Structure 1
């Protein structure tokens, strides 16, 4: 496998040049925190490009997201207390992917995607023993709908289901229209759909944690 990626190397050098003394004053002033808004924006623009299926837009938006990663890595390389660079990021990710795929790099076998997901759950539990709940590690800044879907998936793992769940429409098109209709109804009544869903998700999270505590207490007995 060739290790030569001249285009990537050139972009890494470009980021370094822009952030170096004599480069771009704006780039030099940025911090990890100030860049968060751009990472979020670029990620959503990439999602739009993927959903549109436009090849040229995907190339551009993937580049924008890649640039954010390189920017953060270069920033860290020149920040006391951090001092890691893009190679450190890449090596860490390679080690993580090798560890997470024992059916490819080790002696375990996986015949289905579900087998792979089971491996990941086991490995993540071993890697992060400080996490005591299936909810630990879920990004709180996710949009409410994505957060709800994530929490529902975690809830299923501990046998908690949403009692208010209704039969879903048969297709994503139908589901989209139902969701849009619910948001429109909420808006017409002066209700905040995003806040309402987050509140409901917090209630579900409370149920999940209660179920986990009950299970732990049963094992202790």
Structure 2
């Protein structure tokens, strides 16, 4: 499908989705959809995002199409609720993301210099009215701790900060484990976690995918035990 035709079709389908949501939330719509709020929909947004990740992990493009649609539905759902509450509309959402992408990519849309992660954080800090900023961003209180640590390490690599570059990460992990074996404390546990996540980020491994596979393997091991197949 050519670019112009695809955009025309996308506009048509997106408008249809907006109309569907309006109908579902109307007086003669669906009782379940009508009673939903921003608060009640929170778990669904999280679930749909994880299902997108699962589809990517499985390299299942048909499933990815469906799950991305479910995420888009959540965006439209929240926007319709906000419109009814006179908070904002889908137009505000689209305008905000469009202007943000243009503003944060001056090297593309204004032909100003080259991309750097530091520049991204500088622009981001300016948007939020901050005079000072960290080159690797801030700790995001809305993210799970594991994700925060992973992102900070990834971002530090982007600005050429690597505290263990000259060290053997396996020796560090060995030292951490020996410390814990010899009645180590919480600091040793923190160092072990940091070094482990550092290793996976350095190797450009998908930690979430590895954790999902580890959970699956652990569950399969338990099922063998439950069925009396595991004699160990």
Give the equivalent residue in structure 2 for 1:144: 145
Aligned residues: 175
> Which of the residues 54, 57, 60 maps onto 2:60?
54
The DSSP-based 3-state class of the residue aligned with 2:199 is coil
Distance 1:136 1:13, change over 3 A: same
Asked whether the equivalents of residues 152 and 161 of structure 1 are also in contact (C-alpha less than 8 Å), the reply is: no
Residue 199 (structure 2) pairs with residue 168 (structure 1): yes
TM-score, normalized by length of structure 2? Answer: 0.63
- Structure 2 gaps, min length 5: 165-171, 173-190, 219-232
Give the equivalent residue in structure 2 for 1:120: 120
Structure showing greater Rg: 2
Question: Which structure has the higher relative contact order (CA within 8 Å, separation 6+)?
Answer: 1
Cα RMSD for the two superposed structures: 3.5
Distance 1:137 1:36, change over 3 A: farther
Note the 1:71-150 alignment, pairs <5 A.
71-80=77-86, 82=87, 84-110=88-114, 115-130=115-130, 134=134, 138-150=139-151
Give the equivalent residue in structure 2 for 1:34: 40
In the TM superposition, what whole-angstrom CA distance separates every residue of 1:38-89 from its partner, at most 9, and x where no partner exists? 0000000001011211111010000000000000001100104x1x111111
Task: Return the alpha-carbon distance in structure 2 between the equivalents of residues 168 and 53 of structure 1.
Answer: 25
The DSSP-based 3-state class of the residue aligned with 2:116 is helix
Task: Return the alpha-carbon distance in structure 2 between the equivalents of residues 123 and 171 of structure 1.
Answer: 26
Asked whether the equivalents of residues 155 and 161 of structure 1 are also in contact (C-alpha less than 8 Å), the reply is: no
Give the equivalent residue in structure 2 for 1:215: none
- Structure 1 gaps, min length 5: 185-221
The DSSP-based 3-state class of the residue aligned with 1:168 is helix
Give the equivalent residue in structure 2 for 1:202: none
